[in-house]
Amino acid sequence: MGVLINNSQNKLRIRKIQVRKAAQAILNALDCPKGELSILIEDDDGITGLNEKYLQRKGPANVISFPLRDVNFPEIEHDLLGDVVISAETTQREGNSLGTGFDKRFAELLIHGILHLFGYDHEKSEQEADEMEIKASKLLKIIENSSFTFS
């Protein structure tokens, strides 16, 4: 199955093949080249509905992950990783606000979402947040060196 991409929004043009290649590069770097995940690209309304329904949080999120691996049972390994949902609208707003642009912000959110599928968590402790940030920085360098363009 590999990496499935579904672009449910129509406000921004998204290069799905570039998203797929970047996700595969991330999986390769995480020593999980056969990992299977789906990436859903939504608008703010779409991700708001998911955020409220599944996480009981109000408003749009930039990225949401739904892992299928059970971090409580790491010995049970399988290639099904889960789903990553990214809001294209929020990505564009944040990229503009941060001065990084859409492509870099999208790469950061894609990495962030995939790391959550691998059990990384920035909300439990400062140490875990630091570990996640270090791993994300290394992965971002790989993506930036590959010059992916998502929009």
What pLDDT score was predicted for residue 71?
58
What pLDDT score was predicted for residue 145?
94
If you write DSSP's letter for every residue of 85-111 in order, what string do you get? EEEHHHHHHHHHHHTSHHHHHHHHHHH
What pLDDT score was predicted for residue 17?
96
Q: Domain spans of the chain? A: 3-146
Please give the average pLDDT of every successive group of 10 residues along the chain, which has 151 residues.
Answer: 94 96 97 96 98 95 91 66 97 98 98 96 90 97 94 90
Q: Name the CATH superfamily for 3-146.
A: Metalloproteases ("zincins"), catalytic domain (3.40.390.30)
Distance between CA atoms of 15 and 38, rounded to whole angstroms?
Answer: 15
Residue 87: CB atoms within 10 A of its CB come to 27
Distance between CA atoms of 104 and 95, rounded to whole angstroms?
Answer: 7
Closest CA to 120 of 78, 62, 76, 81: 81
